[in-house]
């Protein structure tokens, strides 16, 4: 598909994703939800309708142009197309579930089978621009930010879905004061909960970045854009009462972009890739604790916790780097048929033999 088509798909996906964020806000902050038919569900399912309509329209256009069967489905759009009826089926199941068993308002909402079905199929739909860009023949290894933007938006919103359903381990939902308080006490289990949440969130946020860095040399601003989108879900769930912590992650995205520019990590440069993975995680969580301390009442009282936590994060980032890229990827050799005979200057073969 053309970049414009993918961009429209990504922008409609924002409608879809924001609808889910509004629904997450309602379930977290409003008490007494007793019906499936709510304004936020209307935004969510209307987003599904427009995204689905756009995918189906692309297939229909190709069919009118003479393509038949799978040939009518644009590259990268097949999984999204298949997920449309599956999402609708899970949506109907969710309506019946709520009608019979009621509306979930606590942690049980994250384990509902109908919700899990919705989230998996939604991920397939919303990451369509990523799969399209992944297979685009003319994209190259160094795409511009504008060209890669639909893929970044799709993957970032998919990451928010993961963070939503693991929100019981989301470090971005803590206020600065709570982080400082937790890391100032050893007897209370609060320090353990924050530390575990930092590990979970570190993996969730860094993994999609490493996934893209192995495929492309990301243009400057890519990680900042992704992190700015990723913090929207925990922001919605907490009614944006923890803005300093959310902004620390946006700043961490900017630092990661600077690291990419300096280190130039890629699938062919394993050492640089590993270094980026570790340093990006270390910088992210150093900023997290630094901003929490600056806005939450000062440095935590237990120095081992606030000094060691970023180091642990960096080591986990390094481990993720080794997991994503255990061996350097070698560049594909140019096939002999690709070499033009006419391009060889006269006498070059004799010089080569000599």
Tell me: the pLDDT tens digits for 191-204? 999 999 999 999 99
End of a domain among 131, 165, 199?
165
Answer yes or no: do 190 and 314 share one domain: yes
C-alpha 229 chain-centroid distance: 8
Residue 53 lies in a domain: yes
Mean pLDDT of 88-102: 81
What pLDDT is attached to residue 334? 46
| 138 confidence band (pLDDT: 50, 70, 90) | confident
Range of the domain at 15: 1-165
End of a domain among 165, 180, 211?
165
* Lowest mean per-residue pLDDT among 37-46, 149-158, 273-282: 37-46
Answer yes or no: do 161 and 71 share one domain: yes
pLDDT of 353 higher than 70: no
Residue 316 lies in a domain: yes
| 81 confidence band (pLDDT: 50, 70, 90) | very high
What pLDDT is attached to residue 348? 41
**Across-strand partners of 266?**
269
Mean pLDDT of 270-296: 96
Could you report the per-residue pLDDT of 21-59, keeping only the tens digit for each?
A: 888 887 777 666 555 667 777 888 899 999 999 999 999
Answer yes or no: do 106 and 2 share one domain: yes
Residue 126 lies in a domain: yes
Residue 337 lies in a domain: no
Answer yes or no: do 195 and 117 share one domain: no
Answer yes or no: do 62 and 134 share one domain: yes
Answer yes or no: do 184 and 284 share one domain: yes
Residue 354 lies in a domain: no
What pLDDT is attached to residue 112? 84
In contact, 320 and 208? CB cutoff 8 Å: no
Total domain count, the chain: 2
pLDDT of 172 higher than 60: yes
Of the two residues 104 and 160, the one the predictor is more confident about is 160
What pLDDT is attached to residue 131? 95
Residue 14 lies in a domain: yes
Of 288, 289, 278, nearest to 313 by C-alpha is 278
* Lowest mean per-residue pLDDT among 64-78, 119-133, 248-262: 64-78
Residue 343 DSSP SS3 = coil
Of the two residues 340 and 323, the one the predictor is more confident about is 323
Tokens of 14: 């924002």
User: CA of 293: how far to CAs of 240, 286, 298, 300, in Å?
Assistant: 18, 10, 5, 7
Answer yes or no: do 39 and 188 share one domain: no
Answer yes or no: do 187 and 158 share one domain: no
Instruction: Please state whether the predicted TM-score (pTM) of the whole model is above 0.85.
Output: yes
What pLDDT is attached to residue 328? 84
| 77 confidence band (pLDDT: 50, 70, 90) | very high
What pLDDT is attached to residue 280? 97
Residue 349 lies in a domain: no
Answer yes or no: do 150 and 190 share one domain: no
Mean pLDDT of 316-338: 78
Residue 313 lies in a domain: yes
Answer yes or no: do 99 and 238 share one domain: no
Mean pLDDT of 252-276: 96
Answer yes or no: do 113 and 191 share one domain: no
Residue 55 DSSP SS3 = helix
What pLDDT is attached to residue 38? 73
Answer yes or no: do 235 and 135 share one domain: no
CB atoms near residue 53 (< 10 Å)? 13
Of 107, 136, 200, 214, nearest to 162 by C-alpha is 200
CA distance 62 to 245: 46
End of a domain among 101, 132, 165?
165
CA distance 174 to 292: 9
Q: Which residue has the tokens 């009608």?
A: 99
CB atoms near residue 166 (< 10 Å)? 15
């Amino acid at each position: 598909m053309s970049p414009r088509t993918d961009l429209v798909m990504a922008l409609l996906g924002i409608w879809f994703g924001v609808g889910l964020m509004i629904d997450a806000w309602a379930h977290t902050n409003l008490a007494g939800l007793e019906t499936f038919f709510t304004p936020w569900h209307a935004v969510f399912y209307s987003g599904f309708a427009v995204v689905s309509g756009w995918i189906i329209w692309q297939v229909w256009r190709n069919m009118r142009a003479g393509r038949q069967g799978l040939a009518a489905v644009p590259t990268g759009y097949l999984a999204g197309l298949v997920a449309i009826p599956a999402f609708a089926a899970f949506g109907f199941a969710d309506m019946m579930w709520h009608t019979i068993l009621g509306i979930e308002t606590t942690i049980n909402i994250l384990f509902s089978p109908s919700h899990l079905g919705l989230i998996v199929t939604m991920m397939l739909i919303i990451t369509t621009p990523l799969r399209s860009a992944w297979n685009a023949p003319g994209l190259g290894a160094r795409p511009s930010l504008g060209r890669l933007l639909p893929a970044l938006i799709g993957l970032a919103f998919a990451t928010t879905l993961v963070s939503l359903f693991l929100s019981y381990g989301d470090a971005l939902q803590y206020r600065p004061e709570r982080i400082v308080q937790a890391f100032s006490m050893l007897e209370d289990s609060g320090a353990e909960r924050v530390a575990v949440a930092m590990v979970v969130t570190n993996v969730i946020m860094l993994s999609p970045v490493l996934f893209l860095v192995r495929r492309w040399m990301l243009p400057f601003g890519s990680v900042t854009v992704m992190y700015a989108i990723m913090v929207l879900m925990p922001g919605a769930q907490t009614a944006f009462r923890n803005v300093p912590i959310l902004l620390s992650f946006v700043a961490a995205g900017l630092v990661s972009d600077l690291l990419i520019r300096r280190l130039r990590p890629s699938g062919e440069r394993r050492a640089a890739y590993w270094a980026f993975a570790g340093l990006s995680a270390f910088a992210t969580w150093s900023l997290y604790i630094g901003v929490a301390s600056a806005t939450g009442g000062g440095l935590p009282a237990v120095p081992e916790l606030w000094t060691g936590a970023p180091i642990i994060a960096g080591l986990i980032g390094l481990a993720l780097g080794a997991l994503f890229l255990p061996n350097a990827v070698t560049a594909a050799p140019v096939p002999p048929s690709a070499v033009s005979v006419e391009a060889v200057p006269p006498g070059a073969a004799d010089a080569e033999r000599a």
